[in-house]
Amino acid sequence: MVLIHAYCQPDGLIERFSFFLRTMRRSQATVRAYMAVVRRYVEFSGHVPAGLDPVLKYMAMRRDKRLAQASLNIEAAALRCWFGWLKMVEPELWQPDRIPGMRKPPARVVRFLTDEEMGLLLAQPDLDTFTGFRDHVMMATLYQCGLRAGELISMELGSIRLDGYLYVRGKGGHDRLVPFCGAWHGLMESYLRLRSTVRPGKKNALWLREDGRPLRNARSVWEVVNRHARKALGLACGYTRLERTGAGRPWRGHYPHLLRASFATALYQRGVNLVAISQMLGHANVETTAHYLGVDLAKLREAIGHHPRARR
């Protein structure tokens, strides 16, 4: 591999790559992840002795950090995108002999909250306070509409349409409409009345703090869900804690994505078409939804009972 590090040290080339990612409408999370990988790799490759492949050495270094295979795949995807972009804009600078490949991560255990656990979680916030009622409506929206944390935090007053749909700014610039039920709309009307009492001014952001300022980012959603889930569920989600401890990674709490998975699983268990669930989740491919839900053994046993040979 031919490397000219003098062109990598200035921020200009890396910033051009960041602009390229944004132009290609990559999500903010993808841009942040890719840029972190590229900066880390450029710094690391400057210390690799001549004659060694810096890509292989870098990936070996990251594997030594005991990263999950999914995280290693993100590193490989970022480097492949970086090399591909360099080949277009600066072909004389970078001529990689080998681009890292990606491996299929091990099958994960799909986790979700049962109806009873969701009831405990939604009952945890204090509905007599603005913050408690806001947290309750936020978690109800995650569960009843299947939104991602980033999609939830980006909601504005205009996101709630009069025809019974939410306008959701989806991942990767793929916006969609998600239907909502009358019970959720009643909750939202109550929240909007409370929202007007915190002096929001001309702010369009839907989720506000008590001082009238919008919540920061998706991390705020994580903090809301985690705070109430720890109190309401305790060790109900302990499997992930044990799994992370066994892998040498600290337990980080209950994620908002659990509510999204619970939304999809609740619909799937009640016989909703997989294509409809995929559309509501905003997946471009039904196969993604199938992997997202995992294998429900009870549903498989029920399905095989309809086979004509099974009735003999």
CATH number at residue 55: 1.10.150.130
292 is catalytic: yes
Residue 239 to residue 139: CA distance in whole angstroms? 22
Tally of domains in the chain: 2
Tell whether 138 and 261 lie within a shared domain.
yes
* pLDDT the model gives residue 148: 92
- Whose structure tokens read 């999204």? 260
Tell whether 127 and 82 lie within a shared domain.
no
Residue among 41, 143, 191, 292 flagged as catalytic: 292
Tell whether 45 and 174 lie within a shared domain.
no
181: in domain: yes
62: in domain: yes
Residue among 136, 171, 228, 254 flagged as catalytic: 171
Q: Which of 225, 236, 231 is nearest to 114 (CA)?
A: 236
CATH of residue 131? 1.10.443.10
Q: Which of 98, 99, 6, 4 is nearest to 50 (CA)?
A: 4
**From first to last of its 312 residues, what are the pLDDT tens digits of the chain?**
444 443 444 457 888 999 999 998 888 888 999 999 999 998 898 888 888 888 888 988 998 888 888 889 999 999 999 988 888 887 776 656 567 777 777 666 667 888 899 999 999 999 999 999 999 999 999 999 999 999 999 999 999 998 899 999 888 778 999 999 888 999 999 999 999 999 888 889 999 999 999 998 888 998 999 889 888 887 544 545 555 555 555 445 557 888 998 999 889 888 888 889 999 998 888 877 877 676 455 565 666 677 676 555
Instruction: Print the domain residue range for 61.
Output: 5-89
Copy the structure tokens of residue 280: 């509501």
174-181: which pairs have CB atoms within 8 A and are 24 or more residues apart? Answer: 174/282, 174/284, 176/279, 176/280, 176/282, 178/145, 178/146, 178/147, 178/280, 179/280, 180/144, 180/145, 181/144
pLDDT tens for 26-45 read 888 889 999 999 999 988 98
Longest CA–CA separation in the chain, Å? 75
249-to-33, 62, 229 alpha-carbon distances in Å: 19, 15, 20
36-to-25, 83, 121, 170, 171 alpha-carbon distances in Å: 18, 15, 35, 23, 20
Tell whether 82 and 120 lie within a shared domain.
no
Tell whether 254 and 130 lie within a shared domain.
yes
Residue among 111, 209, 257, 291 flagged as catalytic: 257
Tell whether 66 and 145 lie within a shared domain.
no
Tell whether 235 and 269 lie within a shared domain.
yes
Tell whether 59 and 138 lie within a shared domain.
no
Residue among 191, 255, 260, 268 flagged as catalytic: 260
57 is catalytic: no
94: in domain: no
Tell whether 84 and 120 lie within a shared domain.
no
108: in domain: no
Residue among 148, 195, 228, 254 flagged as catalytic: 148
257 is catalytic: yes
Return the amino acid letter for 78: A
